[in-house]
């Protein structure tokens, strides 16, 4: 079976970190655990109105999984700069949220129509 994920590249402090497709399921798990933590809400409910600290921790977990040496506090500082009206930080915050969502959804799940592999799983 082919990988359902594509490689994910995260950028931190000007350096790219790439997670290969075969490790992306584990990456999605790490991100989801960081987002949900002790909440009783689903990950998608959390992403509708995420706490900045939660978003920073999820992105921090993803960066560390990809090999970056970074703390949640360092990520939070960048995310928090969006609250001060810094345009670059606001764009970074939106890009971070988009990136977190992309890590949770394999491209195959977003494609229109079921592939042969999906049909086999569903029994269609």
Q: Do the domain assignments include residue 88?
A: yes
CA distances from 39 to 45, 54, 60, 106, 112 (A): 10, 11, 18, 24, 32
Tell me how many domains the chain contains. 1
- Give the model confidence (pLDDT) of 29-59 as tens digits: 998 888 887 777 777 777 777 778 888 888 8
Q: Do the domain assignments include residue 121?
A: no
Q: Tell me the residue range of the domain where 79 lies.
A: 8-107
User: How many Å apart are CA 56 and CA 51, to the nearest integer?
Assistant: 9
Mean pLDDT of the chain: 77
Q: Do the domain assignments include residue 113?
A: no
Residue 2, C-beta contacts closer than 8 angstroms, at least 6 positions apart: 117
The pLDDT assigned to 94 comes to 64
pLDDT at 69 over 90: yes
Q: Do the domain assignments include residue 36?
A: yes
Burial 8-35 (b: 16+ CB within 10 A, else e): bebebeeeebebeeebbeebbebbbebb
Q: Do the domain assignments include residue 115?
A: no
């Amino acid at each position: 079976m082919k990988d359902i994920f594509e490689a994910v590249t995260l950028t931190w402090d000007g350096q790219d970190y790439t997670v290969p497709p075969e490790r992306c399921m584990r990456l999605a798990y790490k991100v989801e655990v960081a987002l949900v933590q002790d909440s009783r809400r689903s990950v998608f409910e959390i992403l509708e109105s995420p706490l900045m600290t939660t978003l920073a921790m999820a992105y921090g977990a993803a960066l560390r999984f990809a090999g970056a040496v970074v703390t949640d506090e360092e990520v939070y500082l960048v995310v928090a700069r969006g609250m001060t009206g810094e345009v670059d930080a606001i764009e970074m915050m939106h890009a971070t949220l988009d990136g977190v969502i992309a890590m949770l959804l394999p491209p195959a799940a977003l494609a229109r129509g079921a592939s042969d592999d999906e049909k086999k799983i569903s029994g269609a």
